[in-house]
Chain A
């Protein structure tokens, strides 16, 4: 495997981690706010708080890891994406800031403050929408090079059906992933009311999810035929993903094995996410930047990989400890442990 491939695989894996954890995080915040408005808060909030509180900062680090890593491995991406993303990137940052800080304000400082909960619930839903626009941009067609500088056509981006489909997919995925996860978490806590409610939400969002995903592939067939061709070559990965989706919904429908459902869901997204990533290869930004042109020097690449391995040796046991204490500890999940 070349250094370029190792680099992009590491980054893509961390992005996947962020997508999953972030989806649970953002979705849970939204369901919490939604519960407050519709008066179902008492059912959900305990479950949501207990999971989210210890882990949200860890989730955020996944994101930081991704953008620091991409500048490290592919410095040219800072030039291309840095220049064109000023506006969408800033919006995403502002939303993430509101989301993170108001979450903390509510949780540590002013428990039950409705205004705060509402603010981070809504901001959290807009974050994935804003971030997902980057995927649309990377498909090409919105950026041209003028006088050696990348310039973005905001109007084309704003009116493109592709970018809107991607936004819809991001929203549906966030709500679906977090609903499935929270169904399992609530079930584990022995909270039947919350389990039922989350299960309903999960089923409700399963269909929009798959429709949006199909829509994107269809859009790509004329927006970026080259990418579309490569997606067709990888049809079997998308097919496995679809089968896993059906299996997850089936388990939820029959109200059993919620733990398995979560694993199937992770599998479904893993296949789709990596298939999309592989088919995007070798481009970081169609058609201007590939992972080969943008790559750093060999000394830096090797040092980054060595540090990455050392870092993992430190982190994996720590994360294991965190999960053991808060995710897989039956008493904590059920709220029997004092905080």
Chain B
């Protein structure tokens, strides 16, 4: 029954990779979106502008669909961790179950208030009261990201326990939550989630404008999300830099693999793109002198640990280099794009409303998601061969069941159905109900109530 994969360890890794890559899309939307619904709703109240109120409504409707898929894929990954990595969960359960448990409460909180918010649009005479319901939604979403990222940080820098002859002692669940990797990871994950959702919404606005709906509604949406996107992409780059500094000290093998930095040296250059030949010589790459030393320690002459310091079997796959490059390239690109847009609208440059420029903004949406995926691939693949760095390898953690390959095929089909289903349903939803007719109806209703 070893369908597709020979080895249950490899099969488990691929299935985890698949599930998490799918979940990451929806989870990112889940974390970032409530903030933008909040901003729109708030602007609507403050400026007394119905367009923003309708924006919050329409976005919430879309959000419900993505949350639903986030919930089901999250349920899958939650249970799959035990199904695919039983030995890891047995050990981890003893020490890092606390944030996982807290996360459930965060979901709970979010799900309850999201339901209430959505189904009480017209029940409140005072819009501000209705707005208040969004706060627990956004807090719950942020808290989910916080707690799950705490778990992931623990996997990178485990602490808060002693292992004596394979027996876990002196467990301190709180120490395990506040690991060295945690501050940079949590803040980078949050900032990039907000950034990605901003550019996703900007892409939708730009697309509508290209397709001829010249409604100010879309212009307002585009403007608001591009500005937010600028702020969060600056934050993402800054915190990304801190993440690099964290890696240089605490997980130098990951940074070295991501940078193809083979020899420990001072004044190390940053290697972008390129290929490796058989002798591990870098070819066709762009080298920025001293930049790696700056990324790693903030000092152009400082020493950066290379892969020569690690035994062969502890060196992560060198392909993480490309993941890192993709993430950073897209991050810088989106920063420049949103900055250009912002300055351009201030200065009245005409090309910011040209179609070709809007097409680039449309492209920015999928690109941001690609950056999220690349970031996670780099973090997770870069931790290889460890599942718990320095303590347990993936070989020791994986299930021994022979059926993982079959399950991989089933889940791959399932995700295909899900992703297509989401796209079809969202398209239908907004095509059947374009903003023009929704504004029309909203006005009629308002007039009806005044009478």
Interface residues of A (CB under 8 A from B): 53-55, 57-58, 60-61, 63-65, 67-69, 71-76, 78-83, 85-87, 89-90, 93-94, 96-98, 100-105, 108-110, 149, 296-297, 299-300, 303-304, 307-308, 311, 314-315, 318-319, 321-322, 325-326, 337-339
Contact = CB atoms under 8 A, between A and B. Distances in A.
The residue among B61, B71, B171 with the most chain A CB atoms within 10 A of its own CB is B71
A318 B136 CA distance: 10
Given A61-B107, A97-B418, A339-B119, A71 B171 contact: no
B68 interface: yes
B78 A67 contact: yes
A42 to B, nearest CB: 22
B271 to A, nearest CB: 41
Given A100-B68, A325-B116, A337-B123, 13 more contacts: A57-B68, A64-B74, A71-B82, A74-B93, A75-B93, A82-B90, A83-B401, A93-B79, A97-B414, A101-B422, A109-B65, A297-B94, A300-B98
B65 A89 contact: no
Nearest to A302: B173
Contacts of A303: 98, 173-174
Nearest to B176: A300
B428 interface: yes
Contacts of B75: 60, 63-64, 93, 96-97, 100
A308 B103 CA distance: 11
Given A97-B76, A299-B172, A75 B97 contact: yes
A110 B425 contact: yes
B173 A300 contact: yes
Contact of A78 (B82, B109, B410, B421): B82
Interface string B50-91: 000000000001001101110111111011101111110111
B351 interface: no
B250 interface: no
A53 to B, nearest CB: 7
A144 to B, nearest CB: 14
Nearest to A78: B89
14 contacts: A57-B114, A60-B111, A61-B108, A68-B100, A69-B104, A71-B89, A72-B98, A80-B86, A297-B171, A300-B95, A307-B101, A315-B108, A321-B112, A337-B123
B343 interface: no
A263 B122 CA distance: 32
The residue among B67, B76, B97 with the most chain A CB atoms within 10 A of its own CB is B97
Contacts of A299: 171-173
A104 to B, nearest CB: 3
A86 B399 contact: yes
Interface residues of B, number: 74
Given A85-B83, A338-B122, A75 B94 contact: yes
A333 to B, nearest CB: 12
A90 B101 CA distance: 22
A89 B86 CA distance: 13
Given A104-B68, A307-B101, A109 B93 contact: no
A338 B121 contact: yes
B168 interface: yes
B83 A104 contact: no
A194 B116 CA distance: 26
A104 B403 CA distance: 30
Contact of B120 (A89, A101, A325): A325
Interface of A is mostly: helix
Contacts of B65: 104-105, 108-109
A54 B105 contact: no
Nearest to B61: A108
Interface in B90-142: 90-95, 97-98, 100-105, 107-109, 111-116, 118-123, 136
Given A64-B107, A318-B112, A339 B121 contact: yes
B112 A71 contact: no
Contacts of B422: 101, 105
Contacts of A81: 82
B198 interface: no
Contacts of A87: 401, 403, 407
A75 B89 CA distance: 7
B404 interface: yes
A322 B64 contact: no
Contacts of B429: 108-110
B411 A314 contact: no
Contacts of A89: 79, 83
Contact of B410 (A68, A69, A90, A149): A90
Contacts of B94: 75, 296-297, 300
B72 A82 contact: no
Contacts of B84: 82, 86
The residue among A64, A80, A325 with the most chain B CB atoms within 10 A of its own CB is A64
Given A85-B83, A296-B93, A54 B119 contact: yes
Interface in B411-425: 411, 414, 417-418, 421-422, 425
Contact of A71 (B64, B97, B118, B418): B97
Contacts of A93: 75-76, 79-80
A97 B95 CA distance: 29
A105 B109 CA distance: 22
A321 B403 contact: no
A78 B86 contact: yes
Contacts of B410: 90, 94
B220 to A, nearest CB: 24
A90 B104 CA distance: 21
B109 A315 contact: yes
Nearest to B8: A86
Which 3 pairs across A and B sit closest by C-beta, in order of nearness? A75-B93, A104-B68, A82-B86
A139 B83 CA distance: 20
B78 A68 contact: yes
B426 interface: yes
B91 A57 contact: no
B112 A322 contact: yes
Contact of B72 (A55, A68, A100, A314): A100
Contacts of A60: 71-72, 75, 111
Contacts of A109: 65, 425-426, 428-429
B187 interface: no
Given A58-B111, A93-B79, A65 B97 contact: no
Nearest to B121: A339
Nearest to B168: A297
B400 interface: yes
Contact of A326 (B86, B107, B119, B136): B119
Contacts of B95: 300
A325 B113 CA distance: 11
